[in-house]
Amino acid sequence: MLIMRTGLSVHLWLWPILLLEIGVLFLGAGLTSAHGADIKDNRATEILSNFRQSDEQIGPLFKDAAVVADMGSRASMFVRKDGTRYAFVAFPVRGSLRPERIGEPYCRSRLLTPERKLYEAELLRKVTDRLVSKHLFRLWRSAGRIDLAKVTTRKVPDAGHAVSLCRVQDGDVTGTATTLTAADIRAARIAVADAAFADGKFRAAARRYRDLFGDTKDATLLMKEVISLLESGDLDAGFARDEMLQSYLEAINDPDLLERYENAMSKAITAYMSVTE
C-alpha cells in the first residue's frame, strides 16, 4: 500500500494509483460478488466502511467521517481539513453508462455538505410543503458552483459498484446561500403551482393559486385559479371566483393568459348551458 507521508493531505497525483490499489484490496475483503445476485441496499455503505478500515490513506483521512446512506443505493463520506474538502462516494454501476457520469456529479455534490446541512435546516424551519421544498432544494443545488474540483472514479472489481474520490479548496466553492427569504419561498410556490397547471393537474393548481392570491393579491394568480377551476370541471366554483376576478381584470396585461382565460370561460359557459337546458 501507499504510505501517507504528509499528514492527511492526499496528493492528487496519487489518487488514481490509490483507487486502483483500493480496488485490489477490496477484492480480498470478503464481500459477496454482485454477479448473479441482487445488489443490496447496504452494499455502498459496506464498501466505504471497508475502505476506511483497511486502507492506509483513506482510513486516516476519513476516520472521523460518518458513512451516509444516500438514495439510490449509494453512500458517501465527507471531511473538511485545513481549508480543503474531501468526499468519497460509492454507487452501483448498471448497464453501459460510464461510472464517471454518475460518480463525478455525485461526488462534487457531496463537497457541498456543510452548506447543504445549513440549507436543509433552513428548509425545515421555513417550508412545510414538500413539493415547494424539493423545488427550492433543486434550485439551490444547481446554483452552487465548485471550481477546480479534482475527481477520480474507478470501478470496484466484482462488486457491481464504483467509487469516486474528490477534493476542492474552500475558496473554490461559491453560490451556496444558506438562508431563505420570503420572496424565495413565494417564487417557489408559484413555480410549483405553474408546474401543476402546465401538467393539467388543475385541482391541485387551483388550490395553490388560491392560497397564493390570498397572500399576494396578484391578479394573474387569481386568473390562473379561475382557469384551473373551470378546466377541472368545477364550474360553480370557477364562476364564483370569476366574480371576484372582474375587479382585477385591468391589472392583467398578459395576452396569452387572457386568451387562455377567454377560451376556458367560453368552454365552461357552453358546458354549463348544455347541462341546464
Tell me the pLDDT tens digit for each residue of 58-102. Answer: 889 998 899 999 988 999 999 999 999 999 999 999 888 899 999
Q: Does residue 190 share a domain with residue 97? A: no
Residue 122 maps to a domain: no
Q: With 60 as the cut, is the pLDDT of residue 201 above it?
A: yes
Residue 4 maps to a domain: no
Structure-block grid coordinates of residue 202: 388543475
Q: Does residue 162 share a domain with residue 64? A: yes
User: How long, in residues, is the chain?
Assistant: 277
Residue 247 maps to a domain: yes
Give counts: helices (H), strands (E), the chain. 11, 7
Mean pLDDT of 3-27: 40
Structure-block grid coordinates of residue 179: 438562508
pLDDT of residue 17: 42
Percentage of the residues of the chain whose pLDDT score is greater than 90 = 66
* Number of domains the chain is built from: 2
Whole-number Å distance between alpha carbons of 27 and 156: 8
Q: Does residue 215 share a domain with residue 93? A: no
Q: Does residue 79 share a domain with residue 47? A: yes
Q: With 80 as the cut, is the pLDDT of residue 1 above it?
A: no
Mean pLDDT of 167-177: 87
Q: Does residue 156 share a domain with residue 63? A: yes
pLDDT of residue 277: 53
Nearest to 86 by CA among 12, 152, 145, 165: 165
Q: Does residue 201 share a domain with residue 159? A: no
Q: Does residue 246 share a domain with residue 154? A: no
Residue 119 maps to a domain: no
Whole-number Å distance between alpha carbons of 170 and 38: 39
Structure-block grid coordinates of residue 154: 474507478
Residue 124 maps to a domain: no
pLDDT of residue 26: 39
pLDDT digits (tens, 9 = 90+) for 18-49: 444 444 343 333 333 333 333 346 889 999 99
Range of the domain at 252: 182-269
Q: Are 2 and 20 in contact (CB under 8 A)?
A: no
pLDDT of residue 16: 47
Q: Does residue 215 share a domain with residue 164? A: no
Q: How confident is the model at residue 147 (pLDDT cuts 50, 70, 90)?
A: confident
Residue 265 maps to a domain: yes
**Mean per-residue pLDDT over the chain, rounded:** 85
- Among 82-86, 153-157, 256-260, the minimum mean pLDDT is found in 153-157
Q: What is the CA 44 to chain-centroid distance, rounded?
A: 20
pTM of the model: 0.75
